[in-house]
Amino acid sequence: MGDYRLTQLGTSEFEHMSQSLLAALIGASNVKVYGVGRDGGRELTTDAVFEIEEGLQWSGYTVAQAKFRARPGSADANATWLRSQIRAELQDWISPIANRHPKPDNLLFISNVPLSAVPGHGLDAVEDVFGDFADRLPLKAYAVWHYDHVCRLLDSYPGVRAAYAGLLTSGDVLTELRQVLLGEVINIGEVLHRHAAKELVAEQWVRLGESGSRAHEKLQIGQVGVDLQALAAVGDTDPASRPIQVLEHMIIAGNGVLRPSIYEGPEPHRVLVGGPGQGKTTVGQLLCQIYRANLVSDLDSIGPQAAGVVTTLRQHLAASGLPIPINKRWPLRLDLSGYADVLGGNPATSVLRHLASQISDRGADTITAGQLKTWLSSWPWLLVLDGFDEVVAPQVREAMIDRIADFFIDAASVDADLMVIATTRPQGYSAEFSPDQYQHLHLMPLTSGQAEAFARKLADVRLGDDPDAHANVLARIGEAARDPLTARLMVTPLQVTIMSLLLEGRARVPQDRYTLFADYYRTIYGREVAKNTATARLLERHRRTVDQLHEKVGLRLQIQAESSGKADAALPNREVQTLARQILDKEDHPVEEAQRLAEQIAAAATTRLVLLVAKHADDVGFDVRSLQELMAARALTTGPDGGIMERLRAIALSAHWRNTFLLAAGRLATDRRHLVDAILVLLEDLDTSSYLTMYLHPAAGLALDLLDDKFAAPSPRVEMKLVRKAVEVLQSPPIVGFLDASDILQRAALTGSALLGPFIADVAKTSLAADPPQRITAAIMMRRWARGTGALAALGRQRTAGDFAEFGSDQAAVIRAHYLTRSVAPRVKGMPGQPRRGGAAANTGANRCHQTVAGYFRTGSEDVAVSAIFDLEDGRAWDDILQTFDGIAVTSVGSKPMPAIKQPRYHRATLARALNRPAVANHLAQRLLALDPDDWAVASTVADIIKNVLQSRPAGGALGS
């Protein structure tokens, strides 16, 4: 008999497994299973005739109930506990207050506790309790299944055993695979176990950890990785929602069995949304490492390097208080930029095929996509999809979403126990990972206390052998955290890491984000020069050349990322050499000397050249994307003022270039202060370039980001101008990302000049009094504010109701159906009360809703109207828009009824081509303005689509490289 760790299941999963065992014994079609919650003393019932054990048949109405003890004790203690549990249930069956009906003919109790087989003790003592109720609850039969009986059933039903393999396995997975799995999957599991050990070693380092350190050591993620706080998008507008500890939350969510045939909770998948340097990738990396370490206990079987990583991780978990995963998920981190490059060459490459190729490349064994699918059916998975924001090319982005959707179909076809975590920046993200399928977690800025705690962790590792330096850095960090001007530069882990490094050699820190990153580059450069190496001497003699090379490489990589097949930010060594040679030639170096120096510089970059590092065998790039963007920003802000402003205009509305724009603006505010007003004028120009931009106010989003980046601070004048532009989001439909806007406005009101809060409040109150969609936007923003502190929070609590009752039942229904995330709803098929999707009935009788979005943009005489406005090419472009909108179904909601839309799918490339025609874009803006106010959900959907199309337009072609 197998020895299964039933205590690892927990109450819920033990109940589910008990139900699965009975369904296997009796037949799934013959049983009724009860879900989570009050069950009236029932986990499962049946009226079938079945053999409960060999030679013993039960008939009539049978009720089964599970009894789980988290910490089983001695045999006598277990018997006493189970006897009391059963007694309480029997008492309820006879109690008129409990009123349980119908009464059972047979009762079965299933427990995880071991019981003694000694006559008169253990099982006998437990079963004696039934005799006490024989006259009041006459039963035909009863039984108690304890630990040994459950283990025998798991031996007999391998399908059930395999479904719970990740929870039933304890200790070293490799040694127990043969106990819980069967056939070929054991061999696959052994190969993938070895792969996990290799990934432990390969993924152990923190990015940015090795450059410029005092002893040139790397930092293990297990030493410095921290949990971060996030707000769930579910309840985004709920004042009662509270921050979530991301790692703890994900580990707990992953502890259950998530097979669709078993799981009935909220959607288990997550999207982690965070800005540059907020730690998205590090969280995914650390989570995978935690799960890998949890897969092994026999450290001798994985080699000394992997064993050392496991030991460090376990010490980190113990010190940090993070829970150890119960379900032993097999973790994989998929770098989406690398996958995007594969899709650029072959858009049909499946997720499983790509993963199989990556795994095979790292070992002696070849794994196929089919074998991975077999493993997916047999073992629980954690899949981290890292860096969706780095997939810029629209065609590749759409192909990737399609391939991920295909992967979920594959997973569902094998009833996979799967948890997926995706990461992305908010810029350019349009909920491609459906809120119906993924819960969205928005990373929060670090508080001063959290920043200091993280800095202390860094100092403990980097300066643990130098008490004086350790104390000095922490004192300087504390001083910076208390200064409002520098505290705002300590809100992400990356910023704190850079700040800590800078304060190892200086007493004061920069007061703007651009200077923080630029000083980091200068510090690293100085430390590299201080080394006694040939590269150090090269850096010392040719600083200007190396600076320009960094800038040109950063800009070229940013431009390349917009192209299909170039998302992975790396430049071939030969191109680096060519760029170096071009720089040297402009300085009139002799030909032979220029060639020699270019070769030396390119060769140095294959190991490390300040911030340039080897990415693969024959190319280089930056460790951290923000540093690439820093160098691109420097490249854009070099030269005459006019050229600089033209380049900034070209990238201003691009999501891909947003962080580069902010860093560039920061440099200008520091080095060319006279261009600050030119940037403010640019914001106004962007919103008046067409009727469509006048409707969408796209520059409001840029103003918000500049405001949050403290552009040109401290300047109340600039701050107010940015706020005046930023509050235009309150005049727009509620589109994806506008809750981030509400947070930025609230932070500005709390930390900015005294005039900002009242001004924002007045605009919000005006919008709340307007027609939808402005009113809807203002109301949802105010509910978001109500969770915080300050005047805007008080306004939110005063002016809004928790259930949007102030709008009436119809509008409230639209808000819930169209906007609020549904991933908290249980995954129960045929849930009552859900709105119907489109269909013939959606546009009949008194129903004013159209079946698709296109219906709101057609007129009764569409052909005549189009021919009067458009030429032939414009007419075709307008038809493309209508055809795209015809693919977006409308939900009829409320008694009025009114339209709501969930998860629109569309092809950006088609819309981008159509919107390049000015007459078509202007006509679309006019149709948006003509929509009925009650059709705000349609306006919101279309505005979001168009905004994302505009933000995804390639901008690099106007920049050169």
- pLDDT, tens digit, 9 for 90 and up, residues 493-539: 999 999 999 999 888 888 899 999 999 999 999 988 998 888 899 99
Contacts (Cβ under 8 Å, ≥6 apart) of 360? 366, 367
Residues forming beta bridges with residue 67, ordered by sequence position: 111
Q: Report the pLDDT value the prediction gives residue 582, as an integer from 0 to 100.
A: 94
Reported as a single tens digit per residue, the pLDDT across 629-655 is 999 999 999 999 999 999 999 999 999
Reported as a pLDDT band with limits 50, 70 and 90, residue 816 is confident
Element (H, E) at 421: strand 418-424
Three-state DSSP at 440 gives strand
Distance between CA 154 and CA 164 in Å, rounded?
Answer: 10
Residue 7, pLDDT above cutoff 60: yes
Preceding omega of 897 cis (within 30 degrees of 0): yes
Strands 106-111 vs 62-67: parallel, antiparallel or unpaired: parallel
Is residue 115 a contact partner of residue 106, using CB atoms and an 8 Å limit? no
pLDDT of res. 176? 61
**Secondary-structure percent of the chain, ordered helix, strand, coil, rounded to 5:** 55, 10, 35
Q: How confident is the model at residue 921 (pLDDT cuts 50, 70, 90)?
A: very high
CA distance 83 to 125: 8
Q: Is 588 exposed, middle or buried (0-12, 13-18, 19+ CB in 10 A)?
A: exposed
Give Cα 198 to chain centroid, integer Å: 25
* Percentage, residues of the chain above pLDDT 70: 90
Do residues 352 and 332 lie in contact, with contact meaning Cβ atoms separated by under 8 Å? no
pLDDT, tens only, 241-276: 689 999 999 999 999 999 998 888 888 999 999 999
pLDDT for 457 equals 92
| pLDDT for the residue numbered 834 | 33
Averaged pLDDT for residues 72-88: 94
pLDDT of residue 637: 97
Provide the H-helix boundaries in 847-917: 862-869, 872-886, 908-915
Let me know the angle formed at the C-alpha of 550 by 548 and 552, rounded to the nearest 5 degrees.
Answer: 65
Higher-confidence residue: 144 or 362? 144
Quick one: tokens of 952?
A: 């995804």
Range with the lowest mean pLDDT among 330-334, 405-409, 902-906? Answer: 902-906
Beta-carbon count within 10 A of 831 CB: 9
Continuous segment of H or E residues that includes residue 33: strand 31-33
Of 199, 206, 220, 204, nearest to 358 by C-alpha is 199
Q: Which residues have CB under 8 Å from 948's CB, separation 6+?
A: 428, 430, 655, 736, 908
Both tokens of 959, joined, read 């920049």
35: phi then psi, degrees, rounded to nearest 5: -85, -170
282 vs 189, residue with greater confidence = 282
d(CA 771, CA 626): 41
Confidence bin at 865 (pLDDT 50/70/90)? low
Please count the CA atoms within 13 angstroms of the CA of 782 that sit on its side-chain side.
29
pLDDT tens-digit readout, 553-564: 999 999 999 886
Distance CA 515, CA 268 (A): 41
Which residue's entry shows tokens 């705002």? 488
Written as one string, the DSSP assignment of 720-743 is HHHHHHHGGGGGS---TTHHHHHH
Cβ(313)–Cβ(462) below 8 Å:
no
Let me know: does 782 contact 768? Beta carbons within 8 Å: yes
* pLDDT of 829 above 50: no
Percent of the chain with pLDDT over 90: 60
Taking each helix axis from N to C terminus, what angle separates 351-361 and 394-413, rounded to the nearest 10 degrees?
Answer: 90
Q: pLDDT band for position 696 (50/70/90)?
A: very high
Distance separating alpha carbons of residues 379 and 903, to the nearest angstrom:
30
Tokens of 549: 């090379």
Q: What is the pLDDT at residue 748?
A: 94
pLDDT of residue 836: 31
Token code pair at residue 765: 């109150």
Confidence bin at 174 (pLDDT 50/70/90): low
Q: DSSP secondary structure string, 229-277?
A: EEEESTTTT-TT---EEHHHHHHHHHTS---TTT--SS--EEEEE--TT
Question: What are the counts of helices (DSSP H) followed by strands (DSSP E) for the chain?
Answer: 42, 21
What H or E segment, with its residue span, contains residue 621? strand 619-622
pLDDT at 5: 86
Query: Is the model's pLDDT at 212 over the cut of 90?
Result: no
Least confident of 639-648, 800-809, 939-948: 800-809
577-629 pLDDT, tens digit each: 999 999 999 989 999 999 999 999 988 888 888 899 888 878 999 988 999 99
The mean predicted confidence, pLDDT, of the chain is: 87
Checking if the pLDDT of 215 tops 90, the result is no
Total Cβ atoms within 10 A of residue 527: 19
> DSSP characters for 499-561?
HHHHTTT-S---SSHHHHHHHHHHHHHHHHHTSSSHHHHHHHHTHHHHHHHHHHHHHHHHHHT
Q: What separation in angstroms does the CA of 650 have from each of 407, 657, 683, 954?
A: 37, 10, 12, 9
Model confidence at 572, pLDDT cuts 50, 70, 90, reads very high
DSSP 860: T
Q: Which residues are registered as beta bridge partners of 619? A: 572, 616
Confidence tier at 180 by pLDDT (50, 70, 90): low
Amino acid 319 reads: A
Q: The tokens of 668 are what?
A: 């200008």
